[in-house]
Amino acid sequence: DSGVTQTPKHLITATGQRVTLRCSPRSGDLSVYWYQQSLDQGLQFLIQYYNGEERAKGNILERFSAQQFPDLHSELNLSSLELGDSALYFCASSVDFGLANYGYTFGSGTRLTVV
């Protein structure tokens, strides 16, 4: 157990639908990062939150959004889902906003399948 909790582990939904992925960071970590990992692809950075505020955006589609709540858990909302959105979605947390001195701690991911 890495300390980063992601739910659900698996999600199957139809095209056009909307889903919410949840992440609880490791205790003490203020930064939450969301990554997408498609089949045979590397980790693509989507978005980062630090202590409730959006800090950085990567290649996140407009159909996707996220937020971090006062208790520091984060949710990634994916809407108008397309087949191509099928992927593993990872949440990672770290202590620092700046240079991640100790790297990220990743959750086990949510496998999203859009049918």
Partner 1 sequence: GENVGLHLPTLSVQEGDNSIINCAYSNSASDYFIWYKQESGKGPQFIIDIRSNMDKRQGQRVTVLLNKTVKHLSLQIAATQPGDSAVYFCAETPNTGGFKTIFGAGTRLFVKA
| Radius of gyration (C-alpha) of the chain in whole angstroms | 13
Q: Which is nearer to partner 1, 40 or 62 (CB)?
A: 40
Q: How far is the CB of 43 from partner 1 (least distance, A)?
A: 4
Determine the Cα–Cα distance for residues 66 and 89; give it in Å rounded to an integer. 13
Q: How far is the CB of 88 from partner 1 (least distance, A)?
A: 9
Q: How far is the CB of 29 from partner 1 (least distance, A)?
A: 12
Q: Which residues bind partner 1 (CB under 8 A)?
A: 2, 4, 31, 33, 35, 40-43, 45, 48, 55-56, 58, 90, 92, 94, 96-109
Q: Which is nearer to partner 1, 8 or 58 (CB)?
A: 58
| Burial class of 97 by CB neighbour count within 10 A (0 to 12, 13 to 18, 19+) | middle
